[in-house]
Amino acid sequence: MSTPSIPEKLYGIIGHPLAQTLSPLLHNWGFARFGIAAAYMAFPTPPEKLAAFIQAVRTLPVAGLSVTIPHKEAVMPLLDAIAPSAQGARAVNTLVWEEERLVGHNTDVTGFIAPLLKRDGLKSGLVLGAGGAAKAVLAGLLQIGITDITLTNRTLERAETLAAQFGVSAAAWEERTNTHADLVVNTTPMGMKGKAEEESPLPPGFWQPGQVAYDLVYNPRETLFLRQAAKGRAQVIDGLTMFAAQGVAQFKLWTGFDLPMDEALTLLTCPSV
C-alpha cells in the first residue's frame, strides 16, 4: 500500500464566518491541475483572534493566505509591508511571503472590474457598505472611469470617512433609496448563505429597467438582492465572476501559474464536475 503524499505547502483563507467559502475548492483544484504539492483550507478566525493567528502564521508552514470579511482592513497593521495594489484599494485580500516578509496584496479590484469592462453606458454608481470590499469597489470604479459615485453605510460617519478617502459622495443609509445610479453594488454580507440569506440591502421597489445590480456575495449565486433587481427589469451581475477572477489572480501570486478563467467558472458553477 502506497503512503499518501504530504503537501509541501499549506495555504488557506481567514475570515468569519467561512462555512460556505468556495476558496478551498478553487485553489485545491488549481494545485491538482498543475501537480503542485500543496493544500488549501479554511481557517475560521473571529476578530478577537486575528492578531494571534497572524503571529502563528509566522511560525507555522503557511505559504499564503486569502483574507475575507471582516479582516481586510484589520490585518494591514499586522503585516510587514503593503503592496501597491493593496495601498490603492486601502484593503488586503491576499497574503504572500516575499523574502521572509509577510506582504499584503489586493486582487479584489481586478476581480471586481472583470465583468464591467465590456459594458458601456455606466456613468454613475451607488455602493452599499463601507468595509474592505467597498474600498476595492471604489478603486475599481474610479479605475474604469466612473466618478459619479455615492457611498452609503449604516454608520454614516464610516461612509463619510471612506468617501473622503476616494473623493466620492456619501449618503445616510436611510437616504440610499433616493439615489439613482446606473450601477448599484452590494458590498455588504446581506444575502450571504449562512449569515443573512433572506436579507437585501434595498427594498424591491427600488429598481428600474436599465439599471445594473452587482452583488459581491457569490454564495448563493442568486441572492435576494439580485432576484428583486431582476424582477424590476434591471440587469444583474452575480459575485461568482469577481470571485473567480480574484482567486485566479491570487493563485498567480502564490504559484506563478495561470488558471484558466473558463474552467474555473465551470468548476465553481458546477462543483461536482
Q: Which residues are catalytic?
A: 72
3-state helix, strand, coil in the chain (%, to 5): 40, 20, 40
Exposure of 165 in the CB half-sphere (CA atoms within 13 A): 20
Per DSSP, 64 falls in state E
Q: Look at the alpha carbons of 128, 131, 137, 140 in this order and tell me if their dihedral is positive or negative.
A: positive
Buried b or exposed e, range 2-23, using 16+ CB within 10 angstroms: eeeeebebbbbbbbbbbeebbb
In angstroms, the CA 212 to CA 5 distance is: 47
Pairing of strands 94-98, 62-67: antiparallel
Which helix (H) or strand (E) is 52 found in, with range? helix 50-57
Q: Are 171 and 198 in contact (CB under 8 A)?
A: no
In angstroms, the CA 238 to CA 258 distance is: 23
Q: Are 181 and 126 in contact (CB under 8 A)?
A: yes
Amino acid in the structure at residue 250: Q
